[in-house]
């Protein structure tokens, strides 16, 4: 059974997921092409950090940085042993539900071109390519995507 809840990103289990996410990204991209939010940013008041648990054990996470009407998806990660179980899709659905409920109408994200699983997940969820947003600039290590949400 998979459950999803908002939790603190500085718990031991969340920190382990973030460290695994960093290691995964480091295997794919050089330092100047990695834009993951650090713990200080994840603890900011405008961030909600979602953790997916399978039978009580943390197996995935994602963060929502929101300032309605826009929001940004950060730090989506699913542990290797839980991939293929729909954890990423469930995390995204819950994040979108909360974002829409809070008045967010546009969700944006930055991911990397070498992360085929993430690109596939986002496309299947209706995210489309877009131009860089916020403080991002074009980078060979970045793909930018967005989705318009229906009001809840």
- Whether the predicted pLDDT of 36 surpasses 90: no
Q: Is the dihedral of CA 126, 84, 112, 77 positive or negative?
A: positive
- Whether the predicted pLDDT of 70 surpasses 90: yes
Query: Which string of b and e fits 115-129 if b means at least 16 CB within 10 Å?
Result: beebbebbeeeebee
CATH architecture group of domain 2-107: 3-Layer(aba) Sandwich (3.40)
Please give the model's pTM, rounded to 2 decimal places.
0.93
Domain ranges of the chain: 2-107
Cis preceding-peptide flag for 134 (omega within 30 of 0): no
- Whether the predicted pLDDT of 152 surpasses 80: no
C-alpha span between 90 and 149 (Å, rounded): 16
- Which of 12, 14, 10 has the alpha carbon at shortest distance from 53? 14
- Whether the predicted pLDDT of 88 surpasses 70: yes
pLDDT in tens, 101-145: 999 999 999 999 999 999 999 999 999 999 999 999 998 899 999
């Amino acid at each position: 059974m998979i459950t999803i809840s908002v939790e603190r990103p500085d718990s031991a289990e969340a920190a382990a997921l973030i460290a695994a996410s960093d290691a995964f990204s480091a295997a794919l991209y050089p330092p100047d092409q990695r834009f993951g939010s650090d713990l200080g940013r994840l603890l900011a008041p405008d961030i909600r950090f979602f953790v997916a648990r399978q039978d009580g054990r943390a197996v995935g996470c994602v963060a929502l940085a929101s300032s309605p009407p826009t929001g940004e998806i950060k730090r989506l990660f699913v542990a290797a042993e839980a991939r293929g179980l729909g954890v990423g899709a469930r995390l995204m659905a819950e994040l979108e539900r909360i974002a829409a409920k809070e008045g967010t109408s546009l969700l944006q994200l930055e991911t990397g071109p070498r992360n085929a699983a993430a690109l596939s997940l986002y496309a299947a969820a209706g995210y489309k390519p877009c131009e860089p947003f916020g403080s991002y600039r074009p980078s060979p290590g970045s793909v930018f995507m967005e989705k318009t949400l229906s009001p809840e």
